[in-house]
Structure 1
Amino acid sequence: MKTHQPLKSCLVRRLAAASLLAGLATGAMAQATAPSTPVATPPTTTHAVTAHAAQVPQLTIRDVYDRMEAAGYRDLREIEWSDGRYEVKARNAQGARVKLEVDGNTGAVLRSRIKH
């Protein structure tokens, strides 16, 4: 009787990778040959579009960082998007820790609070 030797782990990994790639290729081919159907979009009103546009920032976090640094703020630690504006934790020109509220569209500092 002939006994089978266990497969080596590298061979098992190669077979697993090959079957994964084959599955991905099959899925990609099926997706490419599927007929495209238009997706229905719900009707939008001017108010809904305006409200959504107000919530999407025009400035990126990098833009805000650069503007705050150019304005003299240093040690910028956190920049987070919240309710149409960025919240920034930094140090002002005097070295005091501050929390800033920055307009997400213009980059203007709306509020500056010194943190104790």
Structure 2
Amino acid sequence: MSNLIKKSAIAIVLGGAAAMAGLTFAQADTVSSTAATLVAQATTPSTGGAAARSQWLNLGQIYERVVAAGYTDVREIEREKDGYEVKAKDAQGRSVKLYMEPVEGKIVKEKVRDDD
């Protein structure tokens, strides 16, 4: 009898885990880019720097500034502790990594990447 109880308990736990995974997957499909940006901001630890995270530009604003500066094929934008890192192509078609100031969105450093 105890074997039946163990099997039932395992089935309930696995069923619950599968249901939670399904809910998580369903929610991930419906999250807007704005909500995803808010989650990224909320889960990133504060650095205590001059600019509070609440003053930082969001990912969409960083993307707009990169494109306005003439970069194309923006592949990745990462929030770092002191700003943003962006992987894109420069005007010559080279892969670059840009380091951006988070409040005004200025490019502070550009590094040509060898690994394309």
CA distance, structure 2, for counterparts of residue 88 and residue 55 of structure 1? 20
CA distance, structure 2, for counterparts of residue 90 and residue 74 of structure 1? 6
CA distance, structure 2, for counterparts of residue 60 and residue 112 of structure 1? 20
Which residues of 2 match residues 1-116 of structure 1 at below 5 A? 51=48, 54-56=51-53, 57-116=55-114
Q: Calculate percent identity across the aligned residue pairs.
A: 40
1:25 maps to none
Q: When the two structures are aligned, how many residues end up with a matched partner?
A: 68
Runs of 4+ in structure 1 off by over 6 angstroms are: none
Match of 2:58, as an amino acid? Answer: T
Q: Secondary structure at the match of 1:104?
A: coil
CA distance, structure 2, for counterparts of residue 107 and residue 87 of structure 1? 11
CA distance, structure 2, for counterparts of residue 52 and residue 114 of structure 1? 27
Aligned alpha-carbon RMSD (Å): 2.2
CA distance, structure 2, for counterparts of residue 82 and residue 55 of structure 1? 13
2:12 maps to none
* TM-score computed with the length of structure 1 as normaliser: 0.53
Q: Give 5+ residue unaligned stretches, structure 1.
A: 1-49
How far 1:55 sits from its partner (Å)? 4.8
Q: Secondary structure at the match of 2:65?
A: helix
CA distances 1:51-80 after superposition (whole Å, capped 9, x unpaired): 266251520100000110011000000001
* TM-score computed with the length of structure 2 as normaliser: 0.53
Match of 1:93, as an amino acid? Answer: A
C-alpha contact 1:55 1:84 (8 A) present in aligned 2: no
CA distances 1:7-39 after superposition (whole Å, capped 9, x unpaired): xxxxxxxxxxxxxxxxxxxxxxxxxxxxxxxxx
